[in-house]
Amino acid sequence: LNACQNIDCVLIFVVNAAQAESVLFDSNLLAGLNPNALVINCVTLAPSKAVDIANKVQAQGFRYIDAPVSGGAAKALEGRMSIMASGAPDAMADAKPVFDAISEHVFELGDKPGGGSQMKLINQLLAGVHIAAAAEAMNLAASLDMDLHQVIDGIRKCAGSSWMLENRTPHVEDGDYTPLSSVNIFVKDLGIVTDEASGNDVATPLSETALALYRQASEEGLGGEDDSAVVKILARQSNVTLPGSNT
Amino acid sequence: MQTLVIGLGSMGFGAAVSCVRANIQTAGFDVNPDALERFKAEGGQFIH
């Protein structure tokens, strides 16, 4: 980033808080920004961390928007992601052309950093638990020798469905765990959820159970696979043979 | 508005390409040279 200069707006899409801090504070990035430039941080991180980073960036004369995103790679490529944004009104107004280019929905969650990350936290809680729940359901269905295609096709029209069930269970049916979003993402994100909850003395038993499953998958070498691969852990525990498995 | 997208993974790449398509002056940065080449192929500029 030594060559960057005269930047008005920087969008940060690195993997985690540590990388975001490294790129912001251990590189020449901030020196290449114009005064009053917009720093839009789209990384999923703890709300308290968003506030901390915002304070440091703003102290150097830049504006900060806490702006985690959702929607997946396909929607991102179409410029149709969802942005959970919080920041000062003038910063939000100036960010509008960029938000219009990359998103279909912008949720304005207040004028202080942290609000966007709080919303993302709630989304990740549900997303992580729903993926694990869908895996548990697929494993039980497989153990009952049910036709997984029929199960998925039927349940998606029933009340037990979820966006994650519709999106992820075909990977199990196909035995294809090419990562669209990896197991390790949820080791990180449900870790943020349970840390934030326990710091506030809030019970999150479902998140903790799901997190334990993602952690076990990661420890058993599945961290880089699609997050639906948590089903393999359940299958091993249950002596179930899944599609595409050669054991 | 000169924009810089740092991190051209699945979400960052989509964001950067969407900015280019919207005629926003956009540069990309990633530690992975393959990601930079993919962005270049979509009409993006990149910096080191």
- Is residue A206 over pLDDT 90? yes
Q: Average pLDDT for residues A27-31, to the nearest whole number?
A: 94
| Euclidean distance between CA atoms B33 and A97, whole angstroms | 28
B contact residues 6-45, partner A, Cβ 8 Å cutoff: 6-19, 21-22, 24, 27, 29
CB contact under 8 A, B3 and A98: yes
Measured between CB atoms, which of B7, B10, B22 is closest to A12? B7
Cβ neighbours of A73 in B, within 8 Å: 10-11, 13-14
Indicate the pairing of strand A81-85 with strand A69-70.
antiparallel
- Is residue A246 over pLDDT 90? no
Residue-wise DSSP of A103-123: EEEEEE--SSTTHHHHHHHHH
Mean per-residue pLDDT over chain B, rounded? 93
Measured between CB atoms, which of A10, A72, A180 is closest to B6? A10
Closest residue of chain A to B6, computed from CA coordinates:
A12
Are A101 and B18 in contact, with CB atoms under 8 Å apart?
yes
Closest residue of chain A to B17, computed from CA coordinates:
A77
Burial A107-129 (b: 16+ CB within 10 A, else e): bebeeebbbbbbbbbebbbebbb
Q: Which of B16, B38, B29 is nearest to A4 (CA)?
A: B29
- Is residue A247 over pLDDT 60? no
CB contact under 8 A, B7 and A181: no
A contact residues 142-201, partner B, Cβ 8 Å cutoff: 180-181
Q: How far is A11 from chain B (nearest CA, A)?
A: 5
**Residue ranges, chain B, pLDDT below 70:** none
Q: Which of A106, A46, A31 is nearest to A10 (CA)?
A: A31
Q: Which of A129, A122, A193 is nearest to A164 (CA)?
A: A129
CB contact under 8 A, B11 and A81: yes
Q: How confident is the model at residue A188 (pLDDT cuts 50, 70, 90)?
A: very high
CB contact under 8 A, A98 and B1: yes
pTM: 0.92
> Is residue A112 annotated as part of the catalytic site, yes or no?
no
Catalytic residue among A49, A96, A120, A188: A120
3-class SS of residue A226: strand
Mean per-residue pLDDT over chain A, rounded? 96
Cβ neighbours of A78 in B, within 8 Å: 14, 18
Residue A175, classified by CB atoms within 10 Å of its CB into exposed (0-12), middle (13-18) or buried (19+), is exposed
Cβ neighbours of B1 in A, within 8 Å: 8-9, 94, 97-98
Which of left, alpha, beta for A28 (phi over 0: left; psi -120 to 50: alpha)? alpha
Closest residue of chain B to A12, computed from CA coordinates:
B6
Which of left, alpha, beta for A243 (phi over 0: left; psi -120 to 50: alpha)? beta
Measured between CB atoms, which of A6, A23, A72 is closest to B6? A23
Give every strand in the sheet of A33-41, ordered side by side.
Answer: A63-66, A33-41, A7-12, B3-6, B26-29, B45-46
Beta bridge partners of A106: A83
| Euclidean distance between CA atoms A237 and A110, whole angstroms | 45
Condensed to tens digits (0 to 9), the pLDDT of residues B1-10 reads 999 999 999 8
